[in-house]
Structure 1
Amino acid sequence: MSEYQYVEFQAVDRPLTDRELAYARKQSTRAEISRRSFHNEYHFGDFRGDVIGMLQRGYDVHLHYANFGIRTVAIRLPARVPFAKAVWSSYIVEGLSWAPDRRGSGGVLTLAPYHEADELEELWEFEPCMRAIVGLRTRLMAGDLRVLYLFWLAAAIDGQHDSVDAKEPPVPGGLAKIAGDAQPFLEFFGLEPHLLGAAAEVSAEAPDVASPEQRIQRWVESKSDKDVKSLLRELLSEDSAAVKAATVARILGATTSSVWPTVTTNRNCQELLDRAAQLRQAEYEREQERLVAAENRKAAKQAQERKVRMKQMVDEPKKWLRKADELVAARGTDNYEAAAEVLDELREALAADGGEQLSRKHAAHLAKQHPTLNRMKSALRKRGLLE
């Protein structure tokens, strides 16, 4: 297996400043770098830049993939983890870490589970995962505890032998509703959807929490004219993108941990994996039942159509001889097979009235009329219509 690595950073909240862009360019001489993105592929060598430094200087999300086991996601939270430490610390396990900024309340949440080479399927498309990560970051900034659970799940279900014994943290409400948005993220870490389905079985209903857009709207409506003018002055006199990003982060970071309901379980990772396997098997059995039912319906429909067709053959045999001629004239293996089938069914339909002789005679006629059509003659021989 040849080595392949992919590294990407994205600036979500605002574009990089000149100083931040200069810092990013010092991290790699080969990457494609802009104020909004940084990405590079490696078939040999490695990215030796400062990931945390990049995230502290303009970029907001980071993804690192290597086909020998590395799958890392890191996100910068400008305001803080929007939960009390007693809440979010229960989701921090080996492979998931929080690095606070030296100044301020922000920091970087890094998910880097351990996987052996060849343990997971190789990936070549990373855009869906990056979109999912950006969306999950926005949810987390707004106080969505389900995102922390997803990160815990990816960290806990890794290649470590003792990871199956890890105890499950409190299960946030509404887990099932996040499954669609989280699917590319789960796939990146080799987690099947049934795993989240197993977790969601004990999950309570999602709380009625305002969306980020609704919270921003409410915040705007709550401001006085004086506050609005002050913010407008900042936007016009300073770096407007930076002011906007800081303001939005402050609004979204105002969530308290008591908002999101949770359910405490006694499960460990192995129990989740076992339940996911049961759900997967149940889905497989339902799919097999659906396929069998569909095949039965198809067979019944074909039998009915054949019954009608053979009655028509009894009434108008010459029509079906012409049909065989038309199919042969159209050329092509499928048409030759269809023509042979028509003559075979005609033989059966007229079994009591010379059908054998009629079909074989017409097959001989076709062979004589088209002596070079070997595939047609082969189709007729398979049906026993031609010597």
Structure 2
Amino acid sequence: MLRLPRTLLDMDVAERYCVGDEISAWVSGEHLILDLTSEDESGDWDEDAENSLSAVVGVRAELGAGDLRPLYIAWLSAFGRWERDEDAFDHTAEDELEPPVPAGLGSLSAGQQALADFLRLDPDLLAVAAEASPAPVVVKDDPRRLAKEIAKLTETEKDELLLRVVRDQGAQVRMELLRRFRGEPGGDTDDLPRRSVAELLDAAAERRQEREREEAARHAAQEARRERERALARERKLEKLAADEEGAWLRVNEMIGVKKAGEYDMAVELLRDLRTLAERADRLGDFRRRFALLRQEHLRKPSLIERFDRAGLDRPLPV
């Protein structure tokens, strides 16, 4: 929940972004209260919620300065819940048009991104919405123009403003004056075409599917490259082993003699390579005879025999 002075956020503006119980606003004295809700259907406790709220709090000042992106983010997250809960809204809500799209949705501030994360806004849905958002306008106030605007204030207005500054309302006074001199924000986006909720959700689903296809293709290409690298490394290993097969059989016996699980595993791996070499050289019968003798020699080592059986070293190689 956020509380802002009514002079900084008009109720009529806030209501355009309200959605049922998810996003609501009401007036309390001189302030406007915004209630932004996001529920996790799993019911799991969120350990990082407090940290998230600390990051989100900056959007209050942004709203006060006339930046309506936090309101649009909240509206979008409310309907984004439909993708997680099919019963969240009645089907008639599909035809509801989006509120005015503020500028700069494609480049959120840290607080706005924290708000989007806190409200579980789907990144694909946000990206689709941002396509209709114009680039933010960088406002550079001309000191001479500001001086002229201030000169237009009456003495009574100036006295009231100075009194509020003394009463520690300086930041609010500054925002009110800038809003007064610059005009109300968002007016230039009111005439932009509006998309329906269904159009936004469908476009987000298409974008998500395309992104997942691209990610799957990248993953497949990376896995294929890693497989080629593994195959090349194995070939180099086998070439080196082929130059000294007898030495490899001696190392197998040495590893087994250590009587440790790790050495047993390395011995089995080396035997696999020796069997592959024998298969390639059409000497598989020789390998099987030597392996049978090795197995018989160490028959009283159940842990080793179990590894032999698991590796299937005396079974035919897979085609």
TM-score by length of 2: 0.71
Say yes or no: does 1:166 pair with 2:88: no
Distance 1:121 1:183 in 2: 23
Q: 2:271 aligns with which of 303, 328, 343?
A: 343
Match of 1:109 in 2: 34
Q: 1:249 to 1:312 in 2, by over 3 A?
A: same
Match of 1:306 in 2: 234
Tell me the secondary structure at the aligned position of residue 313 of structure 2: coil
Q: How does 1:1-387 map to 2 (within 5 A)?
A: 74-78=1-5, 80-82=7-9, 87-95=13-21, 96-102=23-29, 104=30, 106-112=31-37, 119=41, 122-125=44-47, 126-158=49-81, 159-161=88-90, 162-178=92-108, 181-209=111-139, 243=168, 246-253=169-176, 254-255=178-179, 256-258=183-185, 262=189, 264-321=192-249, 324=252, 329=258, 331-332=260-261, 336-351=264-279, 352=281, 354=283, 356-358=285-287, 361=290, 364-365=293-294, 368-369=297-298, 371-374=300-303, 376-385=304-313
Contact 1:207–1:259 (Cα < 8 Å) also in 2 = no
Q: 1:195 to 1:298 in 2, by over 3 A?
A: same
Match of 1:24 in 2: none
Query: Number of residues paired by the alignment?
Result: 281
List runs of 5+ in structure 2 lacking aligned partners.
Answer: 82-87, 147-163
Distance 2:312 2:93 in 1: 64
Structure number with greater CO (CA < 8 Å, separation at least 6) is 2
Instruction: Compute the displacement of 1:79 (Å).
Output: 6.0
Q: Which amino acid aligns with 2:248?
A: W
Tell me the secondary structure at the aligned position of residue 98 of structure 1: strand
- Write the deviation string for residues 140-172 of structure 1: whole angstroms up to 9, x where unpaired: 223222111112223444522143332101211
Tell me the secondary structure at the aligned position of residue 305 of structure 2: helix
Identity of aligned residues (%): 28
Distance 2:300 2:252 in 1: 16
RMSD: 3.9
Instruction: Compute the displacement of 1:287 (Å).
Output: 1.2
TM-score by length of 1: 0.60
Q: Which amino acid aligns with 2:105?
A: L
Distance 1:326 1:160 in 2: 71
List runs of 5+ in structure 1 lacking aligned partners.
Answer: 1-73, 220-233
Q: Which amino acid aligns with 1:361?
A: R
- Write the deviation string for residues 172-213 of structure 1: whole angstroms up to 9, x where unpaired: 122122287545534544432111111012221122258xxx
Distance 1:180 1:200 in 2: 16
Moved more, 362-371 or 246-255: 362-371
Moved more, 179-188 or 338-347: 179-188
